[in-house]
Amino acid sequence: MRVTKIIIMLFILVTIMLLAGCKLVEEPIAVDVSPQPQPVLVPDHSDESIERRFTDPQDEATNVVQSALMWSQKYEELSTKAEKLREQNNARFLENTDLKRKLSELQAELDRTKTELGEANAFLRQMQMELTKWKADVLGFRDETRSAQAAQLEALTKILRILGAEPVEPSETETQPQTEQPENK
């Protein structure tokens, strides 16, 4: 349907142009009729089979046989090469499958190790907190222990006084702490 419309429109356009006398072009069109130089063909000597086509017909029979032998030999070489490549492809496919299996095993082991490491880290943090708390408790009890020992000493001094012991004033060397005494070398 569409094609017929186009044909009808072209027919109407051509008839209108014929009736109008084709006066649409006011200037004459210049046509260059000078001969163009022909391109120089350079023979391509890279393909020997083209050159052999134009040799003697007697040599042609031997060349055809040689060409057939040459192509069959190339086909055989390429076939063996393709077979080797297929074998390599199969070997690589098997190796790739084996590596994927090992990867999945190692990934599972890595996930398990990460879980264990997280648990160990949590345990170590808990132990660190308990150790810090224990140290604080020990340091806190040290002051209580000192005050208890001081109370015991006071009680012993009172008992000794009651029993009739004479009070002795502490000497200077006894009141100094152990770390401040000179070391004997």
Stronger pLDDT, 161 or 21, i.e. the higher one: 161
Task: State the Cα–Cα distance between residues 156 and 164, nearest whole angstrom.
Answer: 12
> What is the pLDDT at residue 185?
41
Give pTM, 2 decimals: 0.36
Instruction: Report yes or no: 51 and 45 within 8 Å, Cβ to Cβ.
Output: yes
Task: State the Cα–Cα distance between residues 18 and 6, nearest whole angstrom.
Answer: 18
Task: State the Cα–Cα distance between residues 101 and 103, nearest whole angstrom.
Answer: 5
Instruction: Report yes or no: 63 and 55 within 8 Å, Cβ to Cβ.
Output: yes
Grade residue 143 by pLDDT with cuts at 50, 70 and 90. confident
Query: In this prediction, what percent of the chain has a pLDDT beyond 90?
Result: 35
Cβ atoms within 10 A of the Cβ of 160, count? Answer: 13
